[in-house]
Chain A
């Protein structure tokens, strides 16, 4: 029991460290080699946990080895385009100028239903309005409409849009984020004055308070959830 517990903690720490070192990409969009590593690591880590007769090393050494291989492959594929193409493939253009490339569709084993489903999920209902649909190497489909079909932007309409900057959280669930406060060039005295303006005694009564580059404040007071 104790051994399983300690082993679980060690494997958990090793997995967390490995996935963290592999980078954020691993969590969302995975290339083929990354998917293989992620699937293998999860399986390898489970064995010494399920059977205490298997030495811990039998689980940890493969995790470290796979991690090193993945780092090497990722590094070399950054430098060598041919290796990258060999390992991860190339993006495929499934629709070009409103015309479906059936050969590419077949090559990627992408059915018409899947194509339509992916397009609908991106708000493109009509193929004739799609300039390009590109199947990326991580399996995502990127749809690009003809410029005339794209939603109008402020730049296209030549409308002046004030830049409000990035909103920074100053108080999160009653806790003052001192680093963010300093980053905005504000201090405690300024914050207390703002709280007073919102008729709040202290930060503990604030659920969320944000400040954007234009100096605008978003304020949400804490609700009493005990009554709910």
Chain B
């Protein structure tokens, strides 16, 4: 299959830079006592209206925990120990998702923020028809709607993601993996949310299906203008179709930059390592280099920069002090932040 048509979408950086979701100082722990493991450390991240924000990192870097945390879906013993998640609806007062009362939280879920999960195979309940699972979310949020109208809406959603409407009454096991993930994407858009979180939505699918699904997400995003928080370990995927990319390591954001900028000129040695562990589809050949070592043990984090034991460019301060995420003094005119002693912060960034 030809991959000639680039997946890149029109740059939406020109869209007003107002935040739809503002994560401030979020910390997530697993466990509550002395053995608690901090999986997300003081993460601040802003998702702007209509943009695709990529979140990349190795397994165990805390990227999925971050997503579950901000949606308050952490399985026990996960607890949010600090921070705020401010959601700003297009019309209305900003709210802190983390302090919503149960009823308000239920109303917020899916209607404002929907999630497409990692497991394409297990996200649908095997004993209920696709129609039942599409309809119950509509029924939960708009109780007054007639069943006929809900069925029509469900059909419309299926058509939107390229599935024949006659599959509405199929059971999940009668659909292929790709179709199931399309159903999940259609379901995520059922209530026209402002934010869609995608947690490795294409991981369980083959490469061809990955492309098709990504293209579909891109089209739907252009049509409906929702913001996407796209989580993946596949940085090359993000470079192609996200506006900005944040790199996570050991529970922290270590670098955040516009996608093209990060691709051209990654500042953090970890980002650099991630970028160079995937072959590019286009462009000149280059040497592939992995990152030596393995992700840090969250129970025994290294001192200073948590990446320093694996870092090829470490020097004196790395093992001592934790670098703070800030805009690097050597790239003042670029809208980016990094947490690395090679590029110490010049100006304070909020």
A and B associate in one complex: no
Binding site for B on A (CB under 8 A): none
